[in-house]
Amino acid sequence: MGIGDAHAPGATPLDPDEVHGLIPGDIRHQAELNQWEQANVMEGSTWALRFRGRDFLSEGFVRELHRRMFGNTWRWAGTFRTTGKNIGVDAAQVSIQLRELLENTRYWIEHRTFPLDEIASRFHHRLVVIHPFPNGNGRHARLMTDVLLLRNGAAVFGWGSAISKLRAMPVIATSRHCVRRMPVITGCSSVSCAVSIHCRN
């Protein structure tokens, strides 16, 4: 299975220009890429959860987090996509819709429009739907949501089956006993349901 293969489990297909953005030159297979990315994502996770700046709900933080998570892997890390994908808004709308999401989320938190876990669920769902980057959007959206919850004094979600992957990241892993149910969003009432539909990369 090659890099950027449309049949790679859970992967957003990459166009040829995006594949050429791969930094390590000796990677030939998806398994090697996954291992390399995982190490990079752990670095980004550590940075995010140590971040002490006030405005994590900003375009700058969203982009910087993606760069920290994938900047050792892809030259385009932290850069909004310019091509269409099998999921996501039109590329020309990414910045506009992301800004709207961030503004809405700040308002929801400040005015307690919804319970915090519902705010986090809505935020995660919409960020995945926007799909700002060429790849890595699922992992990025989960970590952004973890930051949102932690900065507001709550435990992170368990993310269903993804918890096995998070066990390799002690800084963001959570106990199975801390897995919380999420409110209904487009027919989903649990973390595993939301992840199975919306988190495919």
How far are the Cα atoms of 83, 135, 158, 168 from residue 164, in angstroms, in the given order? Answer: 32, 21, 10, 8
Under a CB-based contact definition with an 8 Å cutoff, are residues 189 and 200 in contact?
Answer: no
Q: Is the dihedral angle over the CA atoms 114, 200, 159, 153 positive or is it negative?
A: negative
pTM metric for this prediction: 0.74
SS3 state of residue 15: coil
Query: Average pLDDT for residues 37-64, to the nearest whole number?
Result: 93
Q: Closest Cα partner for 56 from 96, 93, 109, 95?
A: 109
- Is 175's pLDDT higher than 80? no
pLDDT digit string (tens) for 66-125?
Answer: 999 999 999 999 999 999 988 999 999 999 999 999 999 999 999 999 999 999 999 999
Q: Which amino acid is at 77?
A: A
Task: Band the pLDDT of 32: cuts 50, 70, 90.
Answer: confident
Beta bridge partners of 185: 188
- Quick one: average pLDDT of 143-163? 87
